[in-house]
Amino acid sequence: MSGLAHLLLDAGCLVSGTDLNRGPVIGVLEERGMTFRQGHEPDEIRSAGLVARSSAIRTSNLELIWAVQNSVPVIKRAEMLALLTQSRRSILVAGTHGKTTSSLMLSQILREAGRAPGYYIGAEVPSLGRNAALGSGPEMVLEADESDGTITCYNPAAALVLNIEEDHLDHFGDFSSIVETFRTVIRSVRELPVLCADDPVCRLLARENPLAVSYALDHDADFRATGIEVGAGVSRFTVHHRDACLGEINLSLPGRHNVSNALGVLAVALSMEVDFEDCRRALASVHGAGRRFETCYHGPEYHVIDDYAHHPSEIRATLAAARRLPCKRILAVFQPHRFSRTRLLLGQFANAFEDADRVFVTEIYGAGEDNPTGISGRALCEESGHRNRPAFARTLAEARAMVTQEMQPGDAVVTMGAGNIHEVARQIAMDLRQADEIRKLLEDTSILRCFEPMKKHTTLRVGGPAQMWFEPGGEESLSRVLAHCRQQAIPVFVVGRGSNLLVKDGGIRGLCVHLGRAAFSGWEINGPRLSAGAGVRLRDIAFAAKRAGITGFEFMEGIPGNLGGALRMNAGAMDAWVFEVVESVRVMDMAGQVRELARGEIDAGYRNVSLFKDHIALGATLIGKFGETASIEARLGQYSRKRWDSQPAAPSAGCTFKNTPTIPAGRLIDELGLKDRRVGDARVSPVHANFIVNEGGANAADILALIGEIRECARKERGIELELEVQVVGEDV
């Protein structure tokens, strides 16, 4: 519809438009003079003399109902396009797939030849400036959509038919109706029907039409391509017209399917007496249309491609082209488009992913279509078998979390579909570019990884990916990165050993800082004082103090985290708390500035230290007192036995809830009869009711659901609001 608006503005019409959402093209159209209003209300069209609508707009739309009731003409998009271009030498580009790229190539060739063509293309085309323009020359290139049958309303001078396959059966009913529609289109062509002889239906229709010109890669035809070489980003082939060799073409697009499309475009252009050299130059420099094997990101470790492929043949062609990339694995993320297409072509879809190493399938993008049979994207996964381990994602956020957790250096990620799946590719690409900028600030001793699974860094063993996992090699690199993140508004989250952390399945956006490198993992003892970096484990502190004959730190043996995390939440065990032994803390603010704070300058409460909302603990000086080694060892042994006797061995985040003023949380949960309650593999421990454990296959959603049940029961049965002790972070999916 945006292309139609551009053509109407070119023609000098007053144009207004409505849509449910304000897409990215709206601003450009408004700058050209179009009036836009968000939402569909009759008041928005009362001044219209004519209403043109997309076939996705249902007849129940309030604006359409008002227009019909008030005798305002309503026509479909293609009918409007046919009216606008009826005086031009129109060239239809038609077929089940490949139309957008072929329309772009043909428009580029005619422009290179100085023929100032008009064009209408169904995607963003940066090389042409916009996706539609009337042009000043006689030719008008039209990408023709067959989905609703309106392709027959044109009166073209020429047509390029790329392929004819089963699609849009919700409209046509059966394949014979599709073939008959294309037969009608080809018969309406006044001068030059060009058809692909590699397609069996096109080959049949070409034989029926004495004007037809054919082209092929693998069959006899008027135009043929030989010596085909397909690389990672380019293709090369030689063009023959009957018995004449015309020369070599270097195409700046990958894949045999694009070689076929380019040959068809050449057949049209050369038959219209365009010079071969003009064709050669245009095809060597043509850049793909938006979402047509579009490179969203290409770096040393990853390649991210987005494509409009939404039909089984398109998926196969896109993945075959991806196989040419210098990558170890292909991770395909597919969003089925329309319930009817998915249901009717389910078997073909299931066999279309042979070139992918892993496949992720989202829920179906309905495009305004009803779903009377209840078909789901899950059905495609079940039909596909197990070779490339297809996995179903209910939402785009879940798809992004699943694929990023799977990504390894050397992978290519290919998103495909005609809906909004491109948002996944754009987000992954943006995340990778942010990481590239941070890497420029680092020295060799630092570590930065993208999409690090947080289940590797939490004691609960659950959690989606961290966008960036950062282990600074020292304070200077941490300071530089924090300053950069503040300038770029990148969120920063500090992770210790993850012993009190529940990360949601969508993972953590931004930068996760973990002070685990050598610069933050040392300690030294001076008298009764022990100075340690934030990355030192509390258990190591307790035993280092024992060896030096220092008491006061024995309680730390029972806390599984490190010093940084313990300072952040004032961790405690055995009726003792970390800040009871703190003398001073070395901190860095989010601008990268460092200072030393005495204990009296820090407000430390129960499981909460407000300072660390916007500061990072780099280390601390702890103070104990000298004691007898035997007594220290005895207390360590006592605390250890008590911990193992009273706490479960299965993965957990420690105590889930804070104790209430009237009753310990574990006793309350036990009295409510919730011990051993479970959701999936998340279970209330039979050993200690204030521990939720992961039995092996739990995800964050299971644990959160179980937490919700416990809190609701405590509220309903006892009127008690249980407050979480475990920290919940990250995004839902």
- Please identify, among 76, 96, 118, the residue that sits at the C-terminal boundary of a domain: 76
Q: Is 100 a catalytic residue?
A: yes
Position 424 scores a pLDDT of: 97
* Cα(554)–Cα(539) distance, integer angstroms: 9
- The answer to whether 347 and 383 have CB atoms below 8 angstroms apart is yes
- Sign of the dihedral defined by the CA atoms of residues 53, 54, 57, 58, in that order: positive
**In sequence order, which residues have a C-beta less than 8 Å from that of residue 307 and are 6 or more positions away?**
291, 292, 293, 294, 314, 318, 414, 415, 416
- Please identify, among 285, 304, 323, the residue that sits at the C-terminal boundary of a domain: 285
Which of 85, 96, 100, 621 is catalytic? The answer is 100
Evaluate whether residue 511 is within a structural domain: no
pLDDT tens for 532-569 read 999 999 999 999 999 999 999 999 987 888 999 999 98
**Phi, then psi, of 483 in degrees rounded to 5:** -65, -40
Whether residue 279 is found in the same domain as residue 336: no
Instruction: Tell me if residue 562 falls in helix, strand or coil.
Output: strand
- Please identify, among 401, 430, 459, the residue that sits at the C-terminal boundary of a domain: 430
Position 66 scores a pLDDT of: 93
Instruction: Tell me if residue 644 falls in helix, strand or coil.
Output: helix
Q: Return mean pLDDT, the chain.
A: 94
Position 288 scores a pLDDT of: 80
- Sign of the dihedral defined by the CA atoms of residues 554, 559, 564, 567, in that order: negative
* Cα(474)–Cα(471) distance, integer angstroms: 9
Whether residue 110 is found in the same domain as residue 16: no
Position 63 scores a pLDDT of: 93
Q: Could you give the C-alpha distances from 352 to 157, 383, 417, 533, in angstroms and in order?
A: 36, 11, 13, 53
Position 664 scores a pLDDT of: 95
Q: Which domain holds residue 335?
A: 294-430
Six-digit token pair at 66? 């008002």
Angle at 191 between CA 187 and CA 194, to 5 degrees: 70
DSSP string, 466-535: EEEEEE-SSHHHHHHHHHHHHHHT--EEE-SS-TTEEE-TT-EEEEEE---SGGGS-EEEETTEEEEETT
- The answer to whether 720 and 700 have CB atoms below 8 angstroms apart is no
Spell 89-102 as b/e; 16+ CB within 10 A means b. bbbbbbbbbbbbbb
Which of 139, 143, 406, 557 is catalytic? The answer is 143
Evaluate whether residue 379 is within a structural domain: yes
List the alpha helices (DSSP H) in 32-168: 62-69, 77-84, 99-112
Helices then strands (H, E): number in the chain?
A: 22, 41
Q: Is 613 a catalytic residue?
A: no
Number of domains the chain is built from: 5
* Cα(418)–Cα(413) distance, integer angstroms: 17
* Cα(77)–Cα(145) distance, integer angstroms: 10
Instruction: Tell me if residue 682 falls in helix, strand or coil.
Output: strand
* Cα(26)–Cα(120) distance, integer angstroms: 17
Whether residue 140 is found in the same domain as residue 214: yes
Six-digit token pair at 44? 């928005």
Which of 99, 455, 504, 546 is catalytic? The answer is 99
Whether residue 392 is found in the same domain as residue 537: no
Tell me how far the alpha carbon of residue 184 is from its chain's centroid: 41
Whether residue 176 is found in the same domain as residue 275: yes
**Phi, then psi, of 347 in degrees rounded to 5:** -65, -40
Evaluate whether residue 481 is within a structural domain: no
**In sequence order, which residues have a C-beta less than 8 Å from that of residue 634 and are 6 or more positions away?**
none
Average pLDDT along the chain, 733 residues, taken 10 residues at a time: 96 94 90 94 86 89 92 94 94 96 97 97 91 96 95 96 95 96 97 98 97 97 97 91 97 94 98 98 90 93 96 96 94 97 95 96 92 95 87 96 96 96 97 97 96 95 97 97 97 92 96 96 95 95 94 88 91 87 96 95 88 94 94 89 79 94 96 96 96 96 98 97 95 93
Evaluate whether residue 39 is within a structural domain: yes
Position 558 scores a pLDDT of: 78
Supply the CATH number for residue 124's domain.
3.40.1190.10
Evaluate whether residue 478 is within a structural domain: no
Q: Is 504 a catalytic residue?
A: no
Position 560 scores a pLDDT of: 82
- The answer to whether 261 and 102 have CB atoms below 8 angstroms apart is yes
